[in-house]
Structure 1
Amino acid sequence: MEMRQIQYFIEVANREHMTEAAVALHVAQSAVSRQIVNLENELGVDLFIREGRRVKLTPLGKIFLKRITHAMNVIDDATREVKEYLDPEKGTIRIAFPISLAAHTLPTAISSFRMYYPEAKFQLKQGLYNDLIDGVASGDFNMALIGPVPMEEKKVNRKILFTENVVALLPIHHPLADRETLRLRELKDDPFVLLPEGFVFRDIVINACKDIGFEPQIAFEGDDIDALKGLVSAGLGVTLMPEVTLMESLSRSTVKIPLVEPNVTRTVGVITPKERVLLPTEQLFYQFLQDFFARLSYFKE
């Protein structure tokens, strides 16, 4: 089995198209087809179902893709590790993150880190909560920012960086919009706009409401944080949000109000694999994250 065959296989599997894979690889389509056939002959199984130049993975092909992708990540990590031990300040950090930390938290940390290490590089991937945990555990990436921090998860190491408040976001003309604080119970008759099922923050909101005796009336769902802001701005409902998601932008048509009774919070932290060590540049960033958010917490206090 040759490295070239594996590289061609992964590209075709991800694109499900021989010609598109060939273009991405800068080789002839016939060369890609030939290497895939050679790989299948060597393995003794069909990896793809052919439909002209478009292809789909067979069940065995899907298993092989998962395993070989993990193997390639291990090889890539080994190569990077050797290089980074020679010069860790110029290495690459692979880190994943949820949508709620994309606008402010992660960019702020990376920007500050690059002030000290301007030649460091980043490979970023956005994902859902459980995908972040699985991705770190399986080797898709070595580090993920996450909120809330999964304290019971056995597959990863965890470090809480800070705890943030969850606030209410209301339309500017809402009857309670002039309040300095809100009790969550006061919103029990309001329509809520929430993220779709599968987003852990949706569960945080629903559980916070249930804990004080009501289930929120879900009027609309938005695919991301900005969509929720837009729905609230349009007067279609209220929502709860991590305060950090409102740091950069708050529509004039909305108002954020701190919650009391209960005080809803979310931990934010970083998870790393239990079965693998961080590469030198990643270790550098991991330590920087802890120091950076510790300083921020100190100045807030």
Structure 2
Amino acid sequence: MELRQLEYFLAVAEEANFTRAAERVHISQSGVSAQVKALETELGAELIDRSGRIARLTAAGAAALPYARAALDAAADLREAIDEVKGLVRGHLTVGMVTGCEVTPLFAALAAFHREHPAIELEIVEANSDNLIAAVIAGTADIALVGVAGAVPEHLSAHVVADEGLIALVPPDSPLAGSKGLPLADLMSYPLVTLPEGTGIRAAFDDACVTAGFVPDVVLVASAPGAVAELAARGMGVAVLSESMAAVHPGLVAVPITGIDVPALLALVWRPRAGPALSALLPHCRREFGSS
């Protein structure tokens, strides 16, 4: 008994016609008929009544049908299981991260994963958070480290890495340098250097400004936190970044911005149904970043 015989038998049973069954399995009608006949010979019973225009199941055929389906389903499950194992031998993972956001635990997780699965190709792409989230949803990225305001997207699985407030980075000689906290309203008096729209930090900042009815004076936008800080160090404006980025420029002083209720979140996001390679990567990420 061969799986293809069961497949052809199932096609005839469901189509009730040898011609349509042949079209479905992409072989000739005579080929389908011959294989079904061989199955009947092996089982010692007629499975299909060919006496009319419609191919009908005999009593033996009706009894055999659920077992044929079960056998084909089991074979499909077997193929899927083997494919999952093969996916850990040869595969590809695309990992997204916010432009210029170098997070050591992510690199450590990728290194540990690579040691266990050296044949899986790893690709890192950089973009702003909105684009990375869209890439994960579209399937062009498997997982991404993104910044979001307030909450992670509901339709994605996530591991929150950091839940933090925003800071103003200023030169040591700035009048703001000695402040223990800078109210959002006071920040509006200064020119600002920020990350672009589409980033979690910018979204948290913009949401707070809209809620308070403020219009910030954003004079420069840079895609990388280091560039934002460097521009602030050169006197171009006050840099607005997250708490974890306080050390991005050691020559600047970090002042917490108060009056912002929506936190900036840094999170790993991925589609709920992870493939075998991503499923193997996730434990490394959770270990390096800690439990959320």
Q: TM-score under structure 1 normalisation?
A: 0.59
Within 1, Cα distance between the matches of 2:223 and 2:144? Answer: 21
Q: Is the 8 A contact 1:103 1:245 kept in 2?
A: no
Q: 1:90 offset after TM fit, Å?
A: 7.6
Conserved in 2, the CA contact under 8 Å of 1:183 and 1:259? yes
Task: Tell me how far 1:87 sits from its aligned partner.
Answer: 8.0
Corresponding residue of 1:39: none
Going from structure 1 to structure 2, the CA distance change for 1:155 and 1:89 (only over 3 Å counts) comes to: same
Check whether the contact 1:149–1:270 (CA below 8 A) recurs between aligned residues: no
Larger Rg: 2
Q: Given the alignment of the two structures, is residue 216 of structure 1 paired with residue 216 of structure 2, yes or no?
A: yes
Q: Which residue of 2 aligns with 1:284?
A: 280
Name the SS of the counterpart of 1:283 in structure 2. helix
Contact 2:192–2:219 at 8 Å: present in 1 too?
Answer: yes
> Which digits, 9 at most, give the CA deviation of each residue in 1:192-226, with x for residues without a partner?
11233444432322222333342211122223222
Query: 2:147 aligns to what?
Result: 147
| Residue 105 (structure 1) shift | 5.3
SS in 2 for 1:172: coil
Q: Tell me the CA shift for residue 132 of structure 1.
A: 1.6
Measure the CA separation in 2 of the matches of 1:88 and 1:235. 50
1:267 pairs with 2:255: no
Residue 241 of structure 1 and its aligned partner are, at CA, apart by 0.6
Match of residue 168 from structure 1: 168
Any idea what SS the aligned residue of 2:165 has?
strand
The question of 1:135 aligning with 2:135 is answered: yes
Aligned residues of 2:157 and 2:271 also touching (Cα < 8 A) = yes
Which deviates more from structure 2 when the two are superposed, residues 98-107 or residues 165-174? Answer: 98-107
Indicate conservation of the 8 Å contact 2:149/2:200, yes or no: no
C-alpha separation in 1, matches of 2:257 and 2:241: 11
Deviations 1:7-43 (A, max 9, x none): xxxxxxxxxxxxxxxxxxxxxxxxxxxxxxxxxxxxx
Measured against aligned partners, the alpha-carbon deviations of 1:257-294 in whole angstroms (never above 9, x if no partner) come to 223334662122222224xx323231122132223322
**Structure 1 CA distance, aligned partners of 2:175 and 2:214?**
20
Q: Decide whether aligned partners of structure 1 residues 159 and 197 sit closer, same or farther in structure 2, where only a CA change above 3 A counts.
A: closer
Larger deviation: 193-202 or 138-147? 193-202
Task: State the partner residue of 1:106.
Answer: 106
**Are 1:100 and 1:245, in contact at CA under 8 Å, matched by a contact in 2?**
no
Letter in 2 for 1:288: H
Q: 1:123 to 1:293 in 2, by over 3 A?
A: same
Aligned to 1:231: 231
Task: Return the offset for 1:191.
Answer: 0.7
Matches within 5 A, 1:14-93: 85=85, 88=88, 92-93=92-93
For 2:205, the aligned partner's letter is V
- Secondary structure of the residue aligned to 2:176 is coil
Tell me if the contact between 1:167 and 1:257 (Cα under 8 Å) persists in the aligned partners.
Answer: yes
Could you tell me how far apart the structure 2 residues matched to 1:242 and 1:285 are?
A: 27
Deviation at 1:89, TM superposition (A): 7.7
User: C-alpha separation between the residues in 1 aligned to 2:93 and 2:284?
Assistant: 12
SS in 1 for 2:286: helix
Deviation at 1:158, TM superposition (A): 3.0
Partners in 2 of 1:149 and 1:159 — Cα distance? 15
5+ residue gaps, structure 1: 1-78
Residue 191 in structure 1 maps to residue 191 in structure 2: yes
Aligned residues: 214
State the alpha-carbon separation in 2 of the partners of residues 108 and 133 from structure 1. Answer: 22
Contact residue 166 and residue 258 of structure 1 kept, 8 A: yes
Query: Gaps spanning 5+ residues in structure 2: where?
Result: 1-78
**Would the aligned equivalents of 2:136 and 2:270 in 1 still touch at CA under 8 Å?**
yes
* Superposed displacement of residue 111, structure 1: 4.3
1:45 aligns with none
